[in-house]
C-alpha cells in the first residue's frame, strides 16, 4: 500500500495540473489522479481556444461591483502568467509561448458591447485602441460590422502545448505520483479509481470539472458543494487560405454563449469556437451535432469573415465547461475540511488556472485563507428566480440566439417577441399542464440564464411525444 500523499489532486485538466504544479513547487507530496494520455473526451481545456481574456469577457449588463471583482481576479491571473510559464519550463515542462494581441469585433448593432471592455482595460492601465472593423489585419470583416477594439495585452496559448508542458512538469518531480486512472468516488482522505486502486492523502482537491458531482455522495450535497452545471462547447479546426490572421479575433459575448472567435495556431490552421449550450446529462463522448457545427460555420461567415464559409473543416472537438448558479469559480474547502474543490471556471479556466492554483495552495498551507474570498466553495448561492433572469434581458437574448448568424427583425417586433417570450415562460411555469410541469422540472434542475433557450425549445420536444 502506498504511503498517503500530502494532497491528492483529482482531475488532469488545466486547473488540476496547475494546482499540482503549485503544490509541488511548495514542497508537498502530490498524487495526481486522472488519465495522462488518450482522447480526454469532453475535457474543456483541450477543446478550448485558450484565449487569455482579461477584459474581453465583460458584457454591458454585468453588475459594476461584480465586474470589478472578476476583472481584479483576471488581472491577478494575467500578471501571474509569465512567471507561471517560466516555472513550468524550469520544472521540466518545456517552453510555452503566449503571443499577445486580441481584436474584439462588434457585429452590426452591438457597438455598445465594446464599451465595458475598453473601460475596464483603461481603468487597469492597459492599452486599448478603437478602430473600424476594416482595420483588422488579414480579415475581411462584414461591411455591417459596428467597430473593433485592439487589446495588445490580451494573450493566448496553445491549449495542447500548455497541457503537455504541465503534464511533463508534474512527471519530472520526485514528489509527484501520477495514477493514470479515472476516479470513481471520493471520501475523506480516499480516492477510489477505475482499476481498483485506492489513493490515500491527507487532503483531496477535486478539479474534475463537470465530473465532480458523480464522485461525491448525493452529488455533493452532504459536503455543501453547490450544483455544478455543464456548458457544452463545440470547436473546429480549419484550413482557411487567405484568412491568415496572426492575433485572436473575437466578437463580444452573446447572451448565452461566448463570442465567435478565431485563434491562430502555430501549424497555420485556425481554431474556431463560439458555441455554448446547457446540458443536463453531460456525455463526454458525445460527438458534435451537425446543428452545432452549422452554428459555428454560420457565425464565422456572418460575423467574422465571409471567406470562412469556404474553409476546410479539419476536425472538431467537444468540451464541457463547468459552472455554478452564480457563474463564479468554486474553490476551497467543502463541508468536509479534508476535501477541497477547484472548478467552475466556465469560459476562463486557462486564464485563471495559475491564480486558482495559488489560492488553493494558500488554503492548504494556511487553512482559512479563503474564508472571505468570493470564490469560496461554501458561499451562499441562492437559485435565481425566473422573473429576475427574464428581467436581466434573457428574453431579448433569446431572440439574438434564434437570429444568430446575422438575422434580424425590426426593432418593434424584437421588443414584442421579447415581451411575449417572457410572458409565455412565466405562464408555463405557473400552469398545471404537462408542459408547465416539464418547464418547472427543467428550471429546478438548472435555474440559470443558459436554460432559457432550452425552456423555449421544450414545447417542440413535448409535442413530439404526444
- Dump the DSSP string for 112-178: GGHHHHHHHHHHTT---EEE-GGGSTT----TT--EEEEEEEEEE--HHHHHHHHHHHHHT-TTEEE
Is the distance from CB of 71 to CB of 54 less than 8 angstroms?
A: yes
Rounded distance between C-alpha atoms, residue 183 and residue 178, angstroms: 12
Cα–Cα nearest to 159, from 250, 265, 236, 260: 265
Measured in degrees and rounded to the nearest 5, phi and psi for residue 332 equal: 105, -165
How crowded is the C-beta side of 148, counted as CA atoms within 13 Å?
27
Chain segment 345-360, per-residue pLDDT in tens: 999 999 999 999 999 9
Residue 303 pLDDT > 90, yes or no? yes
Q: Range with the lowest mean pLDDT among 69-73, 334-338, 344-348, 423-427?
A: 423-427
134 and 64 Cβ atoms separated by less than 8 Å: no
For residue 376, the 8-state DSSP code is B
pLDDT of residue 225: 92
151-183 per-position pLDDT tens digit: 999 999 999 999 999 999 999 999 999 999 999
Say whether pLDDT at 35 is over 80.
Answer: yes
Over the range 151-186, which residues count as b (16 or more CB within 10 Å of their CB) and which as e? bebbbbbbbebbbebbbebbeebeebbbbebbbeeb
- Cα(233)–Cα(320) distance, rounded to whole angstroms? 6
Three-state SS at 52: strand
DSSP secondary structure string for all residues of 287-317: PPPHHHHHHHHHHIIIII-GGGGG-EEEEEE
User: In the structure, what pLDDT confidence band is assigned to residue 392 with cuts at 50, 70 and 90?
Assistant: low
pLDDT, averaged across the chain: 90
Query: Lowest-confidence range among 205-219, 282-296, 425-439?
Result: 425-439
Amino acid at each position: 500500500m502506498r504511503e498517503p500523499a500530502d494532497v491528492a489532486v483529482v482531475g488532469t485538466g488545466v486547473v488540476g495540473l496547475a494546482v499540482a504544479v503549485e503544490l509541488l513547487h511548495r514542497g508537498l507530496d502530490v498524487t495526481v489522479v486522472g488519465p495522462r494520455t488518450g482522447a480526454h473526451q469532453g475535457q474543456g481545456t483541450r477543446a478550448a481556444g485558450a484565449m487569455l481574456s482579461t477584459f474581453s469577457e465583460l458584457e454591458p449588463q454585468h453588475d459594476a461591483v461584480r465586474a470589478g471583482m472578476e476583472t481584479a481576479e483576471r488581472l491577478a491571473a494575467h500578471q501571474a502568467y509569465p512567471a507561471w510559464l517560466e516555472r513550468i519550463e524550469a520544472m521540466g515542462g518545456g517552453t510555452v509561448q503566449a503571443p499577445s494581441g486580441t481584436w474584439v469585433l462588434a457585429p452590426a448593432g452591438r457597438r455598445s458591447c465594446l464599451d465595458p471592455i475598453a473601460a475596464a482595460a483603461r481603468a487597469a492601465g492597459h492599452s486599448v485602441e478603437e478602430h473600424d472593423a476594416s482595420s483588422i489585419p488579414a480579415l475581411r470583416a462584414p461591411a455591417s460590422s459596428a467597430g473593433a477594439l485592439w487589446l495588445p495585452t490580451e494573450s493566448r496559448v496553445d491549449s495542447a502545448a500548455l497541457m503537455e508542458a504541465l503534464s511533463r512538469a508534474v512527471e519530472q518531480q520526485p514528489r509527484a505520483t501520477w495514477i493514470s486512472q479515472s476516479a470513481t468516488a471520493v471520501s475523506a482522505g480516499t480516492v477510489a479509481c477505475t482499476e481498483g486502486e485506492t489513493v490515500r492523502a491527507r487532503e483531496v482537491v477535486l478539479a474534475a470539472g463537470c465530473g465532480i458531482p458523480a464522485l461525491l455522495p448525493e452529488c455533493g450535497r452532504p459536503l455543501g458543494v453547490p450544483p455544478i452545471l455543464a456548458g457544452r462547447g463545440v470547436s473546429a479546426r480549419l484550413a482557411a487560405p487567405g484568412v491568415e490572421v496572426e492575433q485572436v479575433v473575437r466578437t463580444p459575448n452573446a447572451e448565452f454563449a461566448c463570442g465567435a472567435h478565431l485563434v491562430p495556431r502555430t501549424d497555420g490552421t485556425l481554431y474556431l469556437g463560439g458555441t455554448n449550450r446547457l446540458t443536463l446529462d453531460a456525455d463526454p463522448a458525445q460527438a458534435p451535432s451537425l446543428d452545432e457545427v452549422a452554428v459555428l460555420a454560420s457565425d464565422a461567415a456572418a460575423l467574422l469573415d465571409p471567406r470562412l464559409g469556404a474553409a476546410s473543416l479539419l476536425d472538431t472537438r467537444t468540451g464541457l465547461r463547468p459552472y455554478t448558479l452564480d457563474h463564479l469559480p468554486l474553490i476551497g474547502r467543502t463541508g468536509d475540511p479534508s476535501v477541497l474543490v477547484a472548478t467552475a471556471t466556465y469560459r476562463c479556466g486557462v486564464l485563471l488556472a495559475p491564480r486558482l492554483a495559488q489560492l488553493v495552495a494558500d488554503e492548504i498551507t494556511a487553512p482559512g485563507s479563503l474564508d472571505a474570498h468570493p470564490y469560496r466553495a461554501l458561499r451562499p448561492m441562492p437559485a435565481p428566480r425566473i422573473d429576475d433572469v427574464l428581467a436581466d434581458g434573457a428574453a431579448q437574448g433569446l431572440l439574438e440566439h434564434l437570429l444568430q448568424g446575422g438575422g434580424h427583425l425590426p426593432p418593434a417586433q424584437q421588443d414584442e417577441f421579447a415581451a411575449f417570450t417572457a410572458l409565455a415562460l412565466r405562464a408555463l411555469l405557473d400552469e398545471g399542464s404537462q408542459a408547465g410541469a416539464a418547464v418547472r422540472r427543467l428550471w429546478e434542475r438548472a435555474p440559470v440564464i443558459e436554460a432559457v433557450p432550452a425552456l423555449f425549445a421544450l414545447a417542440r420536444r413535448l409535442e413530439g411525444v404526444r
